[in-house]
Amino acid sequence: MVALQSASYYVVSMMPPKTATSGSSAPVPGFDAPLEVLADCHVRMLAQCSTLQRLAAHGAAPWADEAAQTAAHNVIRYFDGSGRYHHQDEEQDLFPALIESMAGSDPVCIRQLVDSLTREHREMELRWQTLKAWLAGIEAGDAVAPPQDEIDLFVDQYQRHIAREEQELLPMAARLLESSVLSRIGEAMRQRRGMRPR
């Protein structure tokens, strides 16, 4: 039987990664920099995907381990909360702002990009439901075999999706969107999370 790891093995830090120069944690971006918030969320999503993979690596190990239960709870909380908000931030605010920024021209490439990313969001959300059920079993202490194929597909799709957003979507938004538009997007993101307006 595989021995379960300590809580630190499973539980992903919610702090941003260390900077190469300072060795200290980078400051968490605020909603006054919405594109940076979205990029930071990508880092956190990938960290949660790593936790999924580590939990799955133990197969049908006894899930009564408190560290695994906590990790499962945290992954569920992340994708049901921040992960869902991230998709809404893009679909309800960023994507329409990008299309609007091209008003008067034919933004075919932007429309194709946002339509494709939106479809990927729906696919990942459907796949998430299977993983959430598995994680809920771990959280409850049940010995549930991991849906390894679904985990692999979910993680692979998130990695590809995030790479595409980092390489195409966010640089395009930085080039095309004016600071006033970014401010509106940041304010919408803040309100979506139940924070008071500035």
pLDDT at 12 exceeding the cut of 70: no
pLDDT for 130-179, tens place per residue?
999 999 999 998 878 889 999 999 999 999 999 999 999 999 999 999 99
Mean pLDDT to the nearest integer, 37-48: 97
Question: What CA–CA distance (Å, rounded) separates 27 from 104?
Answer: 38
Name the amino acid, one letter, at 153: L
Question: What CA–CA distance (Å, rounded) separates 191 from 5?
Answer: 38
Question: What CA–CA distance (Å, rounded) separates 54 from 138?
Answer: 13
What is the band of 14 on the pLDDT scale with cuts at 50, 70, 90? very low
Nearest to residue 72, comparing CAs of 138, 12, 128? 138
pLDDT at 37 exceeding the cut of 60: yes
Tokens 């080039």 label which residue? Answer: 175
- pTM, two decimal places: 0.82
HEC secondary structure over the chain: CCCCCCHHHHCCCCCCCECCCCCCECCCCCCCCHHHHHHHHHHHHHHHHHHHHHHHCCCCCCCCCHHHHHHHHHHHHHHHCHHHHHHHHHHHHHHHHHHHHCCCCCCHHHHHHHHHHHHHHHHHHHHHHHHHHHHHHHHCCCCCCCCHHHHHHHHHHHHHHHHHHHHHHHHHHHHHCCHHHHHHHHHHHHHHCCCCCC
Burial status of residue 27 (CB atoms within 10 A of its CB: 0-12, 13-18, 19 or more): exposed
pLDDT for 57-106, tens place per residue?
875 555 558 888 999 999 999 999 999 999 999 999 999 999 999 877 76
Beta bridge partners of 18: 25
Question: What CA–CA distance (Å, rounded) separates 163 from 13?
Answer: 21
